[in-house]
Each structure stands twice: as C-alpha cells, then as structure tokens.
Amino acid sequence: MIYNIREYTREDTSAMRSLWSDAFGDPSELIDFFFELLPSMGTGFVAELDGEIFGAAYVLDAFLHLPGGETKKLAYIYAVSVDESAQGRGIGAELTRACMRNAWDYSADICCTLPAEDSLYDWYESRCGLAAASYCNYESVSASSELDGIRRLSADEYGFLREDMLKGKAHVSFYYGYLRFQEEIFTSSVGGFFEYQGGLVCGYVENGIFYVKEALGDTPEFIPALCASLGAGKAVIRRASAHGERYIAAYQSKDFPPDTVWNLTLD
C-alpha cells in the first residue's frame, strides 16, 4: 500500500469531516465549527491513496509559560484518526510524525499530545518519542443546592481571568480560536466556563456527571452548587499535579514541568 501524507487543503475538508464523524462520533455542528476555526488554530495533515483520504491528524498552536518568565512555543497534536480499513499499518504514527515535522519547521519548542486512552501512552512513546510529561489527579464531589452568584463566562473572559490566575505558574495558554472550540465542546452538551467569588471552573455534563476539566481557585461550595445548576448528580474534577495519572505526553518531556496546568485539552 503506497500512500501519500501531506498538509490538508480546503478541498479535503469534506472527506476529513466524514472521517472525524466516523472516528469520534461528534455532532456535525461541532465538526463544522472545528474546520471553520482550524486556520486560526493550526493546520492538519491527511493520508491519501488514489485521491481518497483515509487518515488525518491536526497540529494546534499553544504556548508553555514557565515560572521564571520564559515562554516556549508548543505544538499540540490532536484527533489522530485512520479509517478502520487502513488501521494497523503505521499510518497513525506517520501522521503524528508529519505533524511533528511541521511544528519544528515552524520553530515549535515542544511537541505534545493527549493519548485518547491509557494503553496509547506506550504506543506514542515507542512510535513517536512522545513520553508522559505531566500528570493529574481526579476527585469526585456530590451535588448540593444551587447558589446565587455563579456567572457564566465567554471564552475570552475566561481566558483573560485564567491568565491572571496562573501568572508565575507553569501553564499552557491558547489562541482565541482554541478557546472558542473548547467552549463549543462544553456547550454542545450542557456546560461552559463559569466564575464564582474569583474562582474559575469549566466542563460539561454527560450521563448525569459534570466533568470538570479545569478548576482554579474554586471555593468548596462552587462545584457542588454548579452541579445542581447544570442538573448533574456529581462532578469528577481533574487537577494538575506533579504526580498521579499520566496526562500530557511530550517529545523531550524533560522540558515540560510535570505539574504544568493545561487542562483544556479539547477532550
């Protein structure tokens, strides 16, 4: 099987949308919004044979801010997918490496990804050199009663407040298009960006559980009350940690502090 891997063009997006839908099952409106925003977030690569696209991956721009004030350019490899008929031939790894080469061509300091499941960490490390670099912990809380004062934020409001809260800490920041797509992921179910008494929380509800992707400076009553407001029975909260479950995998992982606050990984 001789195939070609190349950067995508606008003419490819119909086939790429179909591949995304088959691989991830997302609503068509969410997929369309991703491709609308993609030029402002980064680029994509496709695997092609005889004019047919059967694989795709995306590389999105972000920034790693270190406690000493240094900023590194980050490339986030996202949504690697290969049609079921072509799986098991190393095409996913080739697409990932194409994204990495593109990132380095455009002066990225670190390439990274979030493996879709725990079993894929070893695969990314052995095939692409992307090793576990940062970690997180999960905690659960039950819903309480609703509170006055919880405020829904727009993507840009959340982004500005988030940057103020994370100054001096190792963290990742994003372009506006990236935050808008994260917002669309949240609101395509039930969720969004929220603020209460200076604390920030964001996430979405699925099957009665509020999955909190980021919680910064949150008071103990914030998330239980937000659960009640969103109709969830409990919350599962992800928090950055120097130890715990594997989270971000990175090439040259030693350059990525293990307790880096990322959280908004479009998962």
Give the pLDDT of residue 1. 66
Which of 3.40.30.10, 3.40.630.30, 3.40.50.300, 3.20.20.70 would CATH assign to domain 135-241? Answer: 3.40.630.30
Digit-coded pLDDT (tens) for 188-214: 989 999 999 999 999 999 999 999 999
Question: Which residue reads 């998962």 in tokens?
Answer: 267
Give the pLDDT of residue 97. 98
Which of 3.30.360.10, 3.40.50.970, 3.90.960.10, 3.40.630.30 would CATH assign to domain 4-134+245-250? Answer: 3.40.630.30
What is the pTM (predicted TM-score) of this model? 0.94
Question: Which residue reads 């190349």 in tokens?
Answer: 6
Count Cβ neighbours within 10 Å for each residue of 39-73 and write b for 16 or more, e otherwise: eebbbbbbbbeeeebbbbbbbbbbebbbeeeeeee
d(CA 254, CA 167): 21
Give the pLDDT of residue 88. 84
Give the pLDDT of residue 253. 76
Backbone angles phi, psi at 23, to 5 degrees: -80, -40
CA distances from 221 to 115, 152, 238 (A): 32, 16, 17
Q: Domain segments of the chain: what residues?
A: 4-134+245-250, 135-241
Give the pLDDT of residue 115. 96
Give the pLDDT of residue 240. 94
Give average pLDDT by consecutive 10-residue segment, the chain, 267 residues: 91 97 96 98 96 96 96 97 88 97 96 95 96 96 96 98 97 97 95 98 98 98 98 97 95 88 95
